Amino acid sequence: MRNLKLTVAYDGTDYHGWQSQPGVPTVQGTLEEILGRILDQPIRVHGSGRTDAGVHAHGQIANFTAEMTMDLDALDRGVNALLPSDIRVLAVEEVRLDFHARKSARSKRYEYHVWTSPVVSPFHTRYVHPVGHQLDVEAVDLATALFIGRHDFTSFSATSAKAEDRVRSVLEARWDRGQDEWVFRIQADGFLQYMVRTIVGTLIEVGRGRIAAGDISAMFEAADRAAAGPSAPAKGLHMVSVEY
Amino acid sequence: MRNLKLTVAYDGTDYHGWQSQPGVPTVQGTLEEILGRILDQPIRVHGSGRTDAGVHAHGQIANFTAEMTMDLDALDRGVNALLPSDIRVLAVEEVRLDFHARKSARSKRYEYHVWTSPVVSPFHTRYVHPVGHQLDVEAVDLATALFIGRHDFTSFSATSAKAEDRVRSVLEARWDRGQDEWVFRIQADGFLQYMVRTIVGTLIEVGRGRIAAGDISAMFEAADRAAAGPSAPAKGLHMVSVEY
């Protein structure tokens, strides 16, 4: 039995998210079907975490175990030859049998792309959330810093999220600003469903002057999704990497 | 009567090129339909030149004349609100009545994107031609320099191209090289159909060692499409700008 780690990039536009679901295209489902065809056995792929419909990934990590003798380069070429061009396996590595893409993860990094110019480039439209105007830099930076550290993120995650423990540690949260877009970068030891999108949606409201940076602490204390701002749309969200 | 100049960007993936054709989506046809709807009169848009099916544009220039009183900012916003997100009007300017997007053009710039790494990023796959391996830098640069200057480009254009005079002046031709892709930049006083794609297709063959840089002169002299290399695919071609 061998345990293989995959690094996967995908444009999530045309997928109903990572997780396999009957009757709709998903990234996990597509990978499992093609790996199963190449290795001639049913393959179950474990992702580091689900991404929602429309979310993109540059370095999603997944693993699967199989009895196989195939050379890893040949497997990589074969998988990419059969995958649609909006999903690519960037690397295949053999790892110890106790490696699990989700359970072994120590932290993850996400980016969220906000387009601040009035007209969105047709080459970026699938990957950014257009707000169409500048935001208040100072207020956003002040509020962003309040997310760093160990917090109960109940207010900043989907009410339907199943996690019992909603405390997560944010190791980094900052914005890089270009002429047309702002890029939010966040690293945490784990993410709840909609967590990045709700943090960003709240920060955009801060940048528009509709929420004061000082209100963030009260939002954490409320531990109630209704206390925070709206969730920003999926298409601006990019999973960047997983650290082990 | 007013004459309006449009700067237009589009992702050409889903269009049958610039030029209006019955029954299929084209960029010109889409612009004419939406401008006509907003201005409530038939609008004929003149582009600086046609782009073929699947070719992209970052700064295509077009103009149209109309009797209209509408504010140009309002027109720009209205057009972008109705256009699909893969076509954007980046600027609307009023110009002299004798300005014509094609006839007034002095030169144009194109880029061609060649992906040289084995795996194409899903975020670039619509915009690059994947060759999947490195090319011979020195041979390509030597051959590229031979395209600069005034030449008869009959061998490097579509046999079906209708131009009588196939002499064009290439003002600049060079490659910028990154880790994953090579970008060819070319500026000329005009381009024949398939000209950039045939130059690039020929240069790729040079980079693969299948054509010698020294053979380029003989290709020009032959004035025969069959003498040059294959045309590179449309999706790697990007119209960048038009100079007036």
Helix B137-145 × helix B195-207 angle, to 10°? 140
pLDDT of residue B6: 98
Determine the Cα–Cα distance for residues A214 and A229; give it in Å rounded to an integer: 14
Q: Which of A94-108, A117-131, B103-117, B159-173 has the lowest mean pLDDT?
A: B159-173
Q: From the candidates B14, B40, B52, B165, give the one annotated as an active-site residue.
A: B52
H or E element that contains A234: none
Determine the Cα–Cα distance for residues B63 and B99; give it in Å rounded to an integer: 8
**Proportion of chain A above pLDDT 90, given as a percent:** 96
pLDDT of residue A190: 95
Residue A30 has pLDDT above 90, yes or no: yes
Query: Would you say A17 and A53 are in contact if contact means Cβ atoms under 8 Å apart?
Result: yes
pLDDT band at residue B88 under the 50/70/90 scheme: very high
Average pLDDT of chain B, as a whole number: 96
Average pLDDT over residues A110-125: 97
Average pLDDT over residues B118-132: 96
How far from chain centre, in Å, is Cα A163? 17
pLDDT band at residue A142 under the 50/70/90 scheme: very high
Average pLDDT over residues B64-82: 96
What pTM was computed for the model? 0.93
Strands (E), B71-166: 87-95, 107-115, 129-130, 149-152
pLDDT of residue A29: 97
Instruction: Determine whether the interchain pair B123/A85 forms a contact, defined as Cβ–Cβ distance below 8 Å.
Output: no
**Proportion of chain B above pLDDT 90, given as a percent:** 96
pLDDT of residue B164: 80
Chain A partners of B90 at a C-beta cutoff of 8 Å?
119
pLDDT of residue A164: 80
Instruction: Determine whether the interchain pair A80/B56 forms a contact, defined as Cβ–Cβ distance below 8 Å.
Output: no
For the stretch B202-224, pLDDT in tens is 999 999 999 999 999 999 999 99
pLDDT of residue A99: 98
Average pLDDT over residues B26-37: 98
- Mutation pick from B55, B90, B123, B180 vs chain A, by most beta carbons of A within 10 Å, is B123
What residue in A sits closest to B238 (Cα-Cα)?
A123
For the stretch A169-190, pLDDT in tens is 999 999 999 999 999 999 999 9
Residue B160 has pLDDT above 80, yes or no: no
Chain A partners of B54 at a C-beta cutoff of 8 Å?
none
Average pLDDT of chain A, as a whole number: 96
Chain B partners of A122 at a C-beta cutoff of 8 Å?
9-11, 85-88
Query: Would you say B48 and A83 are in contact if contact means Cβ atoms under 8 Å apart?
Result: no
Which among B88, B90, B123 is the nearest to A11, CB-wise? B123
pLDDT band at residue B149 under the 50/70/90 scheme: very high
Q: How far is CA B236 from CA B114, B129, B160, B225, in A?
A: 7, 5, 21, 21
pLDDT of residue A160: 76
pLDDT band at residue B161 under the 50/70/90 scheme: low
Instruction: Determine whether the interchain pair A123/B87 forms a contact, defined as Cβ–Cβ distance below 8 Å.
Output: no
The DSSP-derived string for B55-80 is: -EEEEEEEEEEE-----HHHHHHHHH
How far from chain centre, in Å, is Cα B136? 25
pLDDT of residue A4: 98
| Coil, helix or strand at residue A206 | helix
A→B interface, C-beta within 8 Å: 9-11, 56, 58, 80, 85-90, 119-123, 125, 127
For the stretch A192-211, pLDDT in tens is 999 999 999 999 999 999 99
pLDDT band at residue B59 under the 50/70/90 scheme: very high
Instruction: Determine whether the interchain pair A119/B89 forms a contact, defined as Cβ–Cβ distance below 8 Å.
Output: yes
Active site residue B215: no
Average pLDDT over residues A23-51: 97
Check residues B165 and A237 and name the one with the higher pLDDT.
A237
Which among A85, A119, A125 is the nearest to B125, CB-wise? A85
Residue A162 has pLDDT above 90, yes or no: no
Chain B partners of A85 at a C-beta cutoff of 8 Å?
120, 122, 125
Residue B237 has pLDDT above 80, yes or no: yes
- Please list the residues that pair with A46 across neighbouring strands: A63
pLDDT of residue A161: 64
**Proportion of chain B above pLDDT 70, given as a percent:** 99
Distance from CA of B155 to the nearest CA of A (A): 32
Average pLDDT over residues B94-100: 97
Task: Count Cβ neighbours within 10 Å for each residue of A72-92 and write b for 16 or more, e otherwise.
Answer: eeebbebbbeebeebbbbbeb
Residue B159 has pLDDT above 90, yes or no: no
Chain B partners of A56 at a C-beta cutoff of 8 Å?
123
Strands (E), chain B: 2-10, 46-47, 56-66, 87-95, 107-115, 129-130, 149-152, 167-177, 181-188, 237-243
